[in-house]
Chains A and B, each alone.
Chain A
């Protein structure tokens, strides 16, 4: 027997073309993604990483932290537009969107809660993508239950000493600075830890089910000595707010990425259904296939509107944005998982192979139901809203 077409080993990921325009809105984001990201996303997925050149292209497009104010090197982009931009990136490549998500969380937290020295030191570098941030909350023994984290930050000599292990850190293999949540005497605090601080050790986690190119890592902190102002925001009762706010933005970005997955499933499935024939009839003419496609159209629009509403409330500074973001993320992530499964179904065996992107969407979509608050945690939180809305 002759064996041909053996799966090639993961090759070095291809290099995207040079960037000619900055991303300022959905339209320019879509153009950027269609040129620089989507054509290569399957290759990144197989290689288990994105190349440095792509990270530079993202910087050239001004995409790393456009929401930062102009004086910090950003473009002052509003949240509705940022949601649209992250949707477009998620449509092309969930791994890159994940890297943007955690960078967004780190950059926003420094801007909102950092001392003026911290802001001056980090914000322009975050905006330019010269320094990449990552978000370290989960540990080997604690994910959903954030109160179960065991990483500690002890006050010592006017600063802090950090000890513990963080796991599943998106971008951890590549990030320059970690936003680490650790237990203090009073509460859970947020600490900014440069990667090159003595006592920080990064171990890559490869071969994940989805978002395979997002370069996850397990990171240990052993007697890591930090300055006093490594703590971002207040200590005491409101320290939890830093985490709440950071997770809120992460959730918003993941909701946006999930809308992008639904849209990607729709576009791929509609194209496939139009060209693939069974018994001489295009799939697109079969009522059962039409039902799947119509649900994709409907859910893409519904999820997009929920996201836009959450973004509008953020722009207005309304407290209700937090619940609106939970709802958007819950709806969009479950819709992404549902429609990615149907997209594979529509593609049949082709959906299970590497010639079409839908298998990647399917794997990536599952991750969306787990990160930034799993489905179960989302439903438990949204149930609190139901309680507020009861009559009598």
Chain B
């Protein structure tokens, strides 16, 4: 597992210690995600990986699993920064 994925999983597990979450599990399907958690998740990703997620990337498919979030981070880090 990549470090990015591991950190994201760690964050989700920390918030929901009772849940057994794997990197490919759909966290929306587990019914965890409310707007508070969504906000925390986005803040966590932006802070931890030093990226700003543009509005058009704030799509549900980018946040479904630790893998999809990790892919998003990799993609954003590869892009040249825009103001």
- Which residue from chain B places its CB closest to the CB of A243 in the assembled complex? B35
List B residues 33-51 near A (Cβ within 8 Å).
33-36, 38-44, 46-47
* Closest partner residue, chain B, to A381 (CB atom): B36
Note all chain B residues with C-beta closer than 8 A to A316: 47
Q: Residue of A at shortest CB range from B60?
A: A237
Residues of B within 8 A of A238 (CB): 38, 42, 58-60, 63
A342 → B minimal CB distance (Å): 33
Q: Given A317-B46, A319-B40, A319-B47, are A241 and B35 also a contact pair (CB < 8 Å)? A: yes
CB distance from A237 to the nearest CB of B (A): 4
Of A244, A318, A381, the residue contacting B38 (CB under 8 A) is A244
Whether A234 lies near B35 (C-beta < 8 A) is no
How far does the alpha carbon of A161 sit from the alpha carbon of B28 in the complex, in Å? 30
The count of residues in chain B whose C-beta lies closer than 8 Å to any C-beta of chain A is: 25
Which residues in A have their C-beta under 8 angstroms from that of B34?
Answer: 240
B39 partner residues in chain A, CB cutoff 8 A: 241, 244-245, 248, 319, 322
CB-defined contacts of B41 to chain A, threshold 8 Å: 319
Q: Is the CB of B55 within 8 A of A113?
A: yes
Task: Please give the distance in Å from B28's CB to the nearest CB on chain A.
Answer: 8
- A317 CA to B40 CA, complexed, in Å: 10
Residues of B within 8 A of A243 (CB): 35
B59, A236: Cβ atoms closer than 8 Å: yes
CB distance A319 to B44 under 8 Å? yes
The reply to whether the CB of B20 lies closer than 8 angstroms to some CB of chain A is: no
Q: How far is the CA of A166 from the CA of B83 in the complex (A)?
A: 35
A244 to B42, CA, bound (A): 12
> Which of B2-48 touch A at CB < 8 Å?
11, 14-17, 28, 33-36, 38-44, 46-47
Among A240, A241, A317, the residue within 8 A (CB) of B47 is A317
Instruction: Decide yes or no whether B79 CB sits under 8 A from chain A.
Output: no
Query: Closest Cβ of chain B: how far from A246's Cβ, in Å?
Result: 10
Beyond A322-B39, A381-B36, A388-B17, whether A241 also contacts B58 by CB under 8 A is yes
Given contacts A234-B55, A388-B17, contact A322 B40 (CB under 8 A): yes
Kindly state the separation between the CA atoms of A113 and B54 in the bound complex, as whole angstroms: 9
Please, which residues of chain A bring their CB within 8 A of the CB of B40?
319-320, 322
The residues of B that contact A237 with a CB separation of less than 8 Å are 28, 33, 38, 58-60, 63
Q: How far is the CB of A332 from chain B (nearest CB, A)?
A: 20
Cα–Cα distance between A388 and B39 once the two chains are bound (Å): 17
A233 at interface, CB cutoff 8 A: yes
CA distance A1 to B30 in the complex (A): 75
B63 touches A322 (CB 8 A): no
Question: A317 CA to B59 CA in the complex, in Å?
Answer: 21
Of the candidates B11, B36, B47, the one whose C-beta lies within 8 Å of that of A322 is B36
Interface string of A255-278 (1 = CB under 8 A from B): 000000000000000000000000
Contact indicator B55/A240 (Cβ below 8 Å): no
4 smallest beta-carbon distances between A and B, as pairs: A240-B35, A319-B40, A238-B58, A234-B58
